[in-house]
Chain A
């Protein structure tokens, strides 16, 4: 259960989030939509301690996250795949993956998780010994998602996973997110500019504009609202 209330973020004089509130039920996939600069990335960054919120609260399963450091937040079951993916290019594919689970003390389960990721993403197994910088854009996205899953999170924050990818890869990624949520009960906050793709696999959606929530509701209702689509979603 995730509860964001009245969250404010500013970079110097530039306000990025201007009092954002939203709630996400367990196991629900929620799309966070909005134009470039709407504040989507800032929302995720404030949730995982990458930027300090000016005010407001982020409560996940009873724990206030805005006071915790990034490295502690993942220990609360929250994994964040940052914008631009954050794959560490100088490390091998396998080292990137392993890194995602290293904070967990259960070695046996870490090994099991790694094996699961290779089963999920066979392309990564083939390239396990290569540097991450040899991967294609789609493979990097797979690696970033797989690495986040190594933590066995309950809440997954994805920042524009479709950015810069070919439509067929985007479809694969969306299918993957849908399957994860169906199979494992994972709660997902899916930030996207590609509203059509995101809405197709989400149950709920939030639309941001200029740091404020414009509308929060069922994904189907938002997809059906012509005016909303026209104004904020660009399709």
Chain B
């Protein structure tokens, strides 16, 4: 489910800007540290969440304006390099500010499995909260892109920036907004996953790899695909981790990625035909 949130953030940036942000996980990790700082200063879970999401929004916008804007009209490889550079930058900044120490993050709800009759199932109230949050975010994104004129302008800016400009769309603002929203979704994903893992400056790398795979599996253009891809990833990885050993999880993710790319390169949930260039 958490992979789903991160995958959605990737899909969002892809939809809004046609850039894959390799620093997505690192930015989410940073926002999560911001939330930790709020909690350390006596804030509660919800205050920390709001502050971290607001921080993510601003950070996403600033990153787009300052770092990505200069390479937006250049070949895509430039953007890839910029986001990889950003990844390193954000991880070092986090290490400098919060140290290399590993932190734990409080869960808002109980993490012990619910009772179904007398049987305990592997589903805790906290899991339900995660599922609910991700579903709400996904519904919000679908509505934004499908049913609002803001979403229409964002899609047009992504597909045909030059044409969109001629039609009066302020493309620059749409790109900034796309990055800001994606960083919010990514930050949410970071905070949701944090209680289940230990927070350290590098720990979102794995999550990003899984999320990236989920996004590709679901089709980079589809929030619903990202959700299904993310859940599917989570389930398959817990099987791989459970039966074959934790160290094989990353390998498992790559195997899934390669199989999907071979069988259906445009993703499992993409409805549009691949575009002829």
Q: Which residues of A contact B (CB under 8 A)?
A: 48-50, 69-71, 74-75, 79-80, 82, 86, 88-91, 95, 98-100, 102-103, 131, 133, 147, 151
Query: Is B115 in contact with chain A by the CB < 8 A criterion?
Result: no
Q: Say whether B156 contacts A88, CB under 8 Å.
A: yes
Q: Say whether B163 contacts A86, CB under 8 Å.
A: yes
Residues of B within 8 A of A88 (CB): 156, 159-160, 163-164
Query: Is B263 in contact with chain A by the CB < 8 A criterion?
Result: no
Chain A residue, CB-CB nearest to B151: A95
The 3 A-B residue pairs with the shortest CB-CB distance in the complex, in nearest-first order: A103-B168, A70-B165, A86-B163
Chain B residue, CB-CB nearest to A131: B272
Known contacts A86-B166, A102-B149, then 9 further A-B pairs from the complex at CB < 8 Å, ordered by chain A residue? A70-B165, A71-B165, A71-B168, A82-B166, A88-B160, A90-B272, A91-B155, A99-B156, A99-B164
Contact of B167 among A69, A102, A131, A133 (CB under 8 A): A102
Query: Is B152 in contact with chain A by the CB < 8 A criterion?
Result: yes
Q: Say whether B160 contacts A69, CB under 8 Å.
A: no
Tell me the bound Cα distance from A88 to B155 in angstroms: 10
Tell me the bound Cα distance from A44 to B240 in angstroms: 59
Contact of B166 among A48, A95, A131, A133 (CB under 8 A): A48
A90-B155, A91-B156, A131-B272 known; A99 vs B162 contact (CB < 8 Å) = no
Chain B interface SS verdict (over half): helix
Q: Say whether A98 contacts B152, CB under 8 Å.
A: yes
A86-B163, A91-B155 known; A102 vs B272 contact (CB < 8 Å) = no
Query: Is B74 in contact with chain A by the CB < 8 A criterion?
Result: no
Q: What 0/1 pattern do residues 169 to 187 of B give for CB contact below 8 A with A?
A: 1110000000000000000
Q: Say whether B166 contacts A102, CB under 8 Å.
A: no
Chain B: interface residue total (CB-CB under 8 A): 20
Within 8 A of A (CB), among B97-139: none
A74-B166, A82-B166 known; A90 vs B149 contact (CB < 8 Å) = no
Tell me the bound Cα distance from A71 to B167 in angstroms: 7
Q: Say whether B153 contacts A102, CB under 8 Å.
A: yes
Tell me the bound Cα distance from A95 to B152 in angstroms: 7
Q: Which residues of B contact A (CB under 8 A)?
A: 149, 152-153, 155-156, 159-160, 162-171, 272-273, 275
Tell me the bound Cα distance from A85 to B151 in angstroms: 23
Q: Smallest Cβ distance from A122 to chain B, in angstroms?
A: 23
Residues of A within 8 A of B170 (CB): 71
Residues of A within 8 A of B159 (CB): 88-91
Q: Say whether B156 contacts A50, CB under 8 Å.
A: no
Contact of A99 among B152, B272, B275 (CB under 8 A): B152
Residues of A within 8 A of B156 (CB): 88, 91, 99
Contact of A98 among B149, B163, B171 (CB under 8 A): B149
A50-B162, A86-B160, A131-B272 known; A71 vs B169 contact (CB < 8 Å) = yes
Tell me the bound Cα distance from A69 to B169 in angstroms: 11
Residues of A within 8 A of B171 (CB): 71
Tell me the bound Cα distance from A49 to B156 in angstroms: 18
Q: Smallest Cβ distance from B192 to chain A, in angstroms?
A: 31
A88-B156, A88-B159 known; A100 vs B272 contact (CB < 8 Å) = no
A89-B275, A90-B275 known; A147 vs B162 contact (CB < 8 Å) = no
Chain A residue, CB-CB nearest to B271: A131
Chain B residue, CB-CB nearest to A90: B159
Can you list 22 A-B pairs, Cβ within 8 angstroms, ordered by A? A50-B162, A50-B166, A69-B165, A71-B170, A82-B162, A82-B163, A86-B162, A86-B163, A88-B156, A88-B159, A89-B159, A89-B275, A98-B149, A98-B152, A99-B153, A99-B156, A99-B167, A99-B169, A102-B167, A102-B168, A131-B272, A151-B167
Q: Smallest Cβ distance from A191 to chain B, in angstroms?
A: 15
Residues of A within 8 A of B164 (CB): 71, 88, 99
Residues of B within 8 A of A49 (CB): 165
Residues of B within 8 A of A70 (CB): 162, 165-166
Residues of A within 8 A of B162 (CB): 50, 70, 82, 86
Residues of A within 8 A of B155 (CB): 90-91, 95
A48, A74, A100, A102 pick with most chain B CB within 10 angstroms: A102
Tell me the bound Cα distance from A79 to B165 in angstroms: 11
Q: Smallest Cβ distance from A100 to chain B, in angstroms?
A: 5
Tell me the bound Cα distance from A151 to B168 in angstroms: 9
Tell me the bound Cα distance from A131 to B165 in angstroms: 21
Q: Smallest Cβ distance from B73 to chain A, in angstroms?
A: 13
Residues of A within 8 A of B169 (CB): 71, 99, 102-103
Residues of B within 8 A of A98 (CB): 149, 152
